[in-house]
Structure formats: C-alpha cells, structure tokens
Amino acid sequence: MAMQFYTSPEQIMRDRAEFARKNISRGRNVVVLSCADGVLLVAENVSSALHKVYELYDRIGFAAVGKYNEFENLRTAGVRMADLRGYSYDRRDVNAASLAKAYAQTLGAIFSEQTKPFEVEICVAGVGASPDGDELYRLTFDGSINDEPGYLAMGGDAEHLVEVLSEGHDSEAPLADAFALALRALSHGGSNGTPRELTTDVLEVAVLERARPGRAFRRIEGLALDALMPRDEAEPDLDPDEVLGDEPGDDADTPDKGEKPQPSE
C-alpha cells in the first residue's frame, strides 16, 4: 500500500499563489485610468489578433494580463452574463460591480477547488456620467477584488507603474494627457533606468467615452493613435498651408485682394 504524503492546506494555498504570481509577472503590463473624457485602457500587446482589452457591455470594459485562453474564457462568460441580465431585466441593471462580484466568485472557487489556479489578473471598468461615477475593479487570481481610486496597473511591473500613475493622475485631465501619463508609466523600467520606447505596434488602446450614448467602448488605432503619440522635439510641426497646398487657380503673381493691378507698359 502506497504511503500518502500529508501537505497542510496552508502550504497548498501558498504554492498555488506563488505559482500564479510567478506566471502573471511574466505578462506585459496594462494600465487603466479615469479621465475627463472617460475611462482609458492601455495595454502592451504585440499581437494584433489576440486582444487584452475588450468591451463587456454598453458602458463596461474589460482588461486582463496572464494566460490568454483563461482570461478569454472569463471574458466570454462575462459577456453572456451581461447579455442575459440585460435581456431578462433592463440594460441599466447591468453594471461593473455585479460583473466584478461574479468574477470574484468564479476565480475564488477555481483557486480553492482546482489543482491549478487561473494565471490571470483582470480589470472590470465602468464609465459614469462624471469621473466620480467611474468604477474600476481589479481582481486577482484568488478572487480578491479591489475598488481602485481612479487608476490601476496590472502585470509584472504593476507596483512601479502605480507609483508613476499616483504622481501624475488627474481625473479631470483630457484624454491626450491621460494617454501621455499611461505611456510614461508603461515606458518605465528600461535598462539603466532609461525609459523604454513604445511604438503603436506594441500598444493596444481603447476608451469608454463618457459623452457617447449607448455603447461607449471605442478602440483607438491607426491615425487616431498616431495623433496621441508624443512627437519628437526635433520634428517640426506640419504647416496646414503646406499640407493643403495652394488653392486651385492661385498664382504667385496674382495680386492680393484690395490691391489694384499695375497697368502693363
């Protein structure tokens, strides 16, 4: 008869937590923060097909780090739950708090009952009528839920990112300033203390627009994302006249308005 080795429940929980933290720390960072125009979600993501930022419902967004197939299962379940509740009752009955609580129950059950916990950390964000009404919930692998005060960071460098965000966050700042702060936080942690250079190819950006009726989620990509990226100081600003060119029919020798043409000799 084989001998059964005894392991205390405390040790089992510690091993599961260490396993999940170690693998989550390898993931790329995500920043979510509230601003005057809505709730901004910015993630480091080298893939253009596998997203880390999604829409859950009309005015609710979702962001995650960790193992893709696991947080994708959570996202799909959240979308189905939100759709079912909105269809059965009213769309106004679906809010970020209820979805976050459901996620907490699911993650807590998986962590305590399954052999392997989910290697994920997720955020459920809801945009309100004003920055004070925004909801940001951060959920960890063990089902712990935290109501964050206007900003949060997830990933391997979350602690350092939160320090940068806490120093410069302003809930009344416009979208461009909020994105600049998020980019500065994500750029933190380069070699020799120098900021990393992040380009649009490795950024996934979305916003829950406060003033947008109905579905507030909008992805920022292409030219819209290029316009938010910081410009090089040595790069001259474009002159609208140079971009548009002269009006049709204009000629350099044409006299200005109000100036009488000189008679030809």
Q: What is the residue range of 109's domain?
A: 27-253
Of 135, 75, 134, nearest to 107 (Cα)?
A: 75
User: The domain spanning residue 61 has which CATH number?
Assistant: 3.60.20.10
Q: What is the pLDDT along the chain (265 residues), one digit of tens a residue?
A: 565 667 788 898 999 999 999 999 988 999 999 999 999 999 999 998 899 999 999 999 999 999 999 999 999 999 999 999 999 999 989 999 999 999 999 999 999 999 999 999 999 999 999 999 999 999 999 999 999 989 999 998 899 999 999 999 999 999 999 999 999 999 986 555 577 889 999 999 999 999 998 899 999 999 999 999 987 655 554 443 443 344 444 444 444 444 444 544 4
So what's the pLDDT on residue 138? 97
Task: Give the tens place of pLDDT for each residue, 165-219.
Answer: 999 999 999 999 999 999 999 998 655 557 788 999 999 999 999 999 889 999 9
Residue 5 inside a domain? The answer is no
In a domain, 214, yes or no: yes
Per-residue confidence (pLDDT) for residue 188, from 0 to 100: 81
Residue 88 lies in a domain: yes
Q: Does some domain include residue 232?
A: yes
Residue 211 lies in a domain: yes
Task: Decide if 262 is inside a domain.
Answer: no
Within a domain: 12 = no
User: What's the pTM value of the predicted model, to 2 decimals?
Assistant: 0.83
What backbone torsions phi and psi does residue 218 show, to the nearest 5 degrees? -145, 130
Answer whether residue 9 is part of any domain.
no
Structure tokens at 124: 């459920």
Total domains in the chain come to 1
